[in-house]
Amino acid sequence: MKFFVDTADTAEIADLAATGLLDGVTTNPTLIAKAGRDFLEVTAEICKLTDGPVSAEVVALDHAGMLREAEILRKIADNVCIKVPLTIDGLKTCKALTGEGTMVNVTLCFSAAQALLAAKAGATFVSPFVGRHDDNGFDGMALIDDIRLIYDNYDYRTQILVASIRHGIHVLESARIGADVITAPPAVIKGLFRHVLTEKGIEGFLADWAKTGQSIG
Ligand code: E4P
């Protein structure tokens, strides 16, 4: 399973990239606003921090406007992946862009039927939002299960990119189901490294090491 980080914070992206686990980055207008940086400038910087896909979202709602914005965004770098909403115009844009060899992430997916449409439009990635699904009384991970089943039934190549991840269990369940990618905030990814017994183990080893009076090097 690929790991993307869901942020426009370049320091966080660089930090995770150094661990070798980072396969790509997703951003959205909210994350760009949070970073307080120029959209095109920060996207160009992020594209240099990873070789993987970097999702940059259009804000136009009509097909022509989305294509105009995508034209500007895809010139930033070869690894830019255009993010479009799961609407009729979004899927028209998806079809046009993937037909030209541009990666497309279809975002704001909340049903398996929507995911089926994204696959038929040739999406590179579909982003079901599990956290927001849970927040509204639905079962986010059941949605991933359904999409996996449907995509496998018809051998669709669209990658399931589990988004709106809130905690490590979402990551673990995504791997169990066989999702292709997860995108999570830096804090959630960093939380996966931690275990109370790892910390306790380090503490114990250091205490015993101190008793030896030795140092390495
Ligand atoms: C995905 O690409 C989105 O940017 C993101 O995962 C949304 O997450 P949120 O529901 O925490 O805003």
Rounded CA separation 8/56 (Å): 10
Q: Structure tokens of 71? A: 């034209």
**Is residue 61 one of the residues assigned to a domain?**
yes
Active site residue 190: no
Provide mean pLDDT across the span 25-39: 98
**Is residue 45 one of the residues assigned to a domain?**
yes
Distance 84 CA to ligand 1 centre (A): 13
Residue 34: give the domain boundaries.
Answer: 2-212
Rounded CA separation 79/148 (Å): 25
Residue recorded with tokens 């070798």: 20
Q: Are the C-beta atoms of residues 25 and 52 closer than 8 Å to each other? A: yes
In the structure, what pLDDT confidence band is assigned to residue 101 with cuts at 50, 70 and 90?
Answer: very high
**Is residue 101 one of the residues assigned to a domain?**
yes
Q: Which of 83, 92, 95, 190 is catalytic?
A: 83
In the structure, what pLDDT confidence band is assigned to residue 180 with cuts at 50, 70 and 90?
Answer: very high
Nearest to 84 by CA among 31, 123, 49: 123
In the structure, what pLDDT confidence band is assigned to residue 127 with cuts at 50, 70 and 90?
Answer: very high
Q: What is the pLDDT of residue 19?
A: 96
Rounded CA separation 159/156 (Å): 8
Provide mean pLDDT across the span 22-35: 98
Task: Using alpha carbons only, give the angle 51, 16, 77 rounded to the nearest 5 degrees.
Answer: 25
Domain tally, the chain: 1
**Is residue 55 one of the residues assigned to a domain?**
yes
**Is residue 217 one of the residues assigned to a domain?**
no
**Is residue 24 one of the residues assigned to a domain?**
yes
Q: How many residues does the chain have?
A: 217
The β-bridge relationship of strands 80-85 and 2-6 is unpaired
The CATH code of the domain that includes 60 is 3.20.20.70
Helix 10-17 to helix 186-193 angle (10° resolution) is: 30
Distance 88 CA to ligand 1 centre (A): 21
**What is the rounded average pLDDT for all residues in the chain?**
98
In the structure, what pLDDT confidence band is assigned to residue 104 with cuts at 50, 70 and 90?
Answer: very high
pLDDT digits (tens, 9 = 90+) for 134-162: 999 999 999 999 999 999 999 999 999 99
